[in-house]
């Protein structure tokens, strides 16, 4: 799995501040998190939509977002991708995330080049590590955090963002879910 690079644009669901703060606190234990972007729920991969294509895609993406009502996201498990090792939290399955992924992937099939995860795993990247061993050690600590922390929220919007040179996602557009 390849990490995001400055200039990449994507459609994400950002986590509320109460969950983001818990993730940042957990990440602060590890040196690997120096330049991780703000935690966000990746709803398709690769998620990249260039700034020049966004205006033409926005009406169709708005139709997709409005066809899906706000829904609950509850993070219950962890996992990691290899090469490099990206540790993530994963929400429980929801028909809304599955539908959104299916519809966006159909619309953005030209953007889905390169790595294609089958089946797709909705996830929040938490950090990357240099070895599988350090990833597994961090995963154990992350699972402990999930057991004792409420990581549940209602997703009510998707955001079109572009990753800046400062490694922060800049929100360029927000689309509410539901009609």
Residue 118 resides in a domain: yes
Q: What is the pLDDT of residues 69-86, one digit of tens each?
A: 999 999 989 999 886 788
Residue 2 resides in a domain: no
Specify the pLDDT at position 155: 96
Q: What is the pLDDT of residues 113-128, one digit of tens each?
A: 554 555 677 889 888 8
Residue 171 resides in a domain: yes
Specify the pLDDT at position 39: 86
Sign of CA dihedral 48, 53, 54, 59: negative
Residue 120 resides in a domain: yes
Task: Tell which residue, 22, 52, 42, has the closest CA to residue 88.
Answer: 42
Provide the number of structural domains found in the chain: 1
CA distance 112 to 48: 8
In this structure, what CATH number is given to the domain that contains residue 94?
3.90.1140.10
pTM over 0.75: yes
Residue 155 resides in a domain: yes
Residue 23 resides in a domain: yes
Torsion angle (degrees, nearest 10) of CA 142, 14, 71, 80? -30
Enumerate the H helices of 29-171 as residue ranges: 54-66, 95-107, 132-148
Residue 27 resides in a domain: yes
Specify the pLDDT at position 130: 85
Residues of the chain with pLDDT below 50 are: 1, 34, 115
Residue 84 structural domain: 9-176
The token duo for 104 is 């966006």
Residue 101 resides in a domain: yes
Find out whether 42 and 121 touch, Cβ atoms under 8 Å. no
The token duo for 168 is 């922060």
């Amino acid at each position: 799995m390849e990490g995001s690079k400055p200039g990449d644009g994507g459609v994400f669901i950002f986590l509320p501040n109460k969950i983001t703060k818990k993730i940042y606190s957990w990440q602060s234990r590890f040196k690997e998190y120096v330049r991780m972007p703000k935690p966000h729920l990746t709803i398709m991969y690769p998620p990249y939509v260039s700034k020049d294509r966004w205006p033409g895609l926005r009406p169709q993406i708005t139709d997709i977002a409005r066809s899906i009502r706000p829904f609950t996201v509850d993070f219950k498990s962890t996992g990691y991708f290899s090469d490099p090792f990206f540790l993530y939290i994963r929400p429980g399955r929801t028909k809304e995330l599955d539908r959104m992924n299916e519809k966006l992937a159909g619309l953005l099939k030209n953007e889905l080049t390169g790595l294609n995860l089958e089946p797709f795993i909705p996830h929040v990247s938490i950090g990357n590590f240099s070895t599988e061993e350090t990833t597994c050690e961090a995963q154990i600590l992350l699972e402990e955090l999930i057991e004792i922390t409420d990581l549940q929220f209602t997703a009510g919007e998707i955001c079109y963002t572009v990753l800046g040179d400062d490694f922060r996602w800049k929100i360029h557009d927000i689309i509410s879910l539901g009609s």
